[in-house]
Amino acid sequence: MVQRLRAGGIRHEAVLAAFERVPRHAFVDAALVTQAYEDTSLPIGHGQTISKPSVVARMIELLYGGANAQASGRLVNVLEIGTGCGYQAALLGTLARSVTSIERLKPLHDKARELLAPLRPPNLRLVFGDGMLGHAPNAPYDAIIAAAGGASVPQAWLDQLAEGGRLVTPVRDGGGDGQVLTVIDRHAEGYRRSVHEAVKFVPLKSGLAR
């Protein structure tokens, strides 16, 4: 899988090393283990998916382009919107000083907690909450990454992004159902947005579900 990521254009060695270190098969259902290292999204229940490795790697690599990450040489304080099964949270936990991961679906929050327990990432905090609200207690964040996309970027995410921070999220493309990978950098003078390739994520929703 790592060789495929490298061949697909992922160049950041720390990101590639994280994919070497974190076993993706540990985060998928037993019936799907044989597909764990294919470059495909897989169902994790409750209408959610574990994203394609190439997309996860691309988004994390984009986080490293933020001013604060470039200045420190690593990811520092990261907020993940949508814990899902915990795979991306585990990757981020190997790369960042501190990670807060929020999930609105209680069964998935509990599942991620269980799957992540053997890895014991001391710098990772799992939160059951409404991701559209971010997580103000640990803000500001140098990096925010979202695993769901809506028509716009929630204001709470922008407010909780540190100056010099970078937000990477899918956003619905115009009035259609398609999504594009969107990067927002916060500078002293405001926010700067850039749009990248088309992606496909589950829709961003508000509220909690038990």
Catalytically annotated residues = 51
Given a contact cutoff of 8 angstroms between Cβ atoms, the answer to whether 143 and 63 are in contact is yes
Could you give the CA distance from residue 1 to residue 161 in angstroms, rounded to a whole number? 32
Give yes or no for a contact between 204 and 150, defined as CB atoms under 8 angstroms apart: yes
Count other C-beta atoms under 10 Å from residue 35's C-beta: 12
What's the token pair of residue 116? 């992540």
